[in-house]
Structure 1
């Protein structure tokens, strides 16, 4: 995940995993956001787009998300899932910058997605009589996506970006 700063310089910010075993689940959950760029305003977005046109072939350009940069992480305590056994995606990540955290919260609701390593347990938790409050879905260690009424298996079999140092992987 990258961002442009007010001074026009690009900065990269590491998204670290507290539990490396969850790399595939988190990467499948975040999808394109793992390599997205954020801009504070539309002027910066125009500059970044013009640079991307020169550097990336058509159809291969990373996503640009434009949203005002805040210096504090959104307060998700009232709307996030809080499970005694399983972490949310937000709880499972170490994010160095509030802008990156807020982008993932805004774009993917990572505070409301559980990570449950075992696929059968994830189905039991999500599709039982009382699914967790504020939980919109869960991901298993295999990248399977489980909702209260359906589930999807992942085609991806290994993490491409979150298997180690994200900055090194992106290079």
Structure 2
């Protein structure tokens, strides 16, 4: 049986950072997910395992997303994006090197996605590769520091050569 999490007595510190529309949508989503979860878990046996509760919870999430207008075909890529974001947060401190092999694999997966032949596992892999690429591109390591230093030194020397300096 899953353990109960006590309700939070303090408001979330980022509550003021979301719009009224985001707040409304989130609250409606939570109400609907609760109703869908209750519908799903009533079919579970009293001795249900943790795996059965997790599957029921995921089913309730999917049903709630479908109720909100999502197409079922969009679910795998949505899950892949969520997994990639979670993995990105967990490994954000050590961005990997982006290799030509990783880039080639990503391009192959994009081709499969365009051709609509990509599998769920490949969608997850594509999302992971895309997130890894973004982490490397956005990291300070990817900046051409040596070139920037050389340009900076050149600009300083030009400035120093000007009359009056």
Indicate the structure (1 or 2) with the bigger Cα radius of gyration: 2
- Name the TM tier (shorter chain): under 0.3
Higher helix content, 1 or 2: 2
**TM-score for both structures, normalised by structure 1:** 0.25
**Greater relative contact order (Cα 8 A, min sep 6): structure 1 or 2?**
1
TM-score, length-normalised on structure 2?
Answer: 0.26
More strand by share: 1
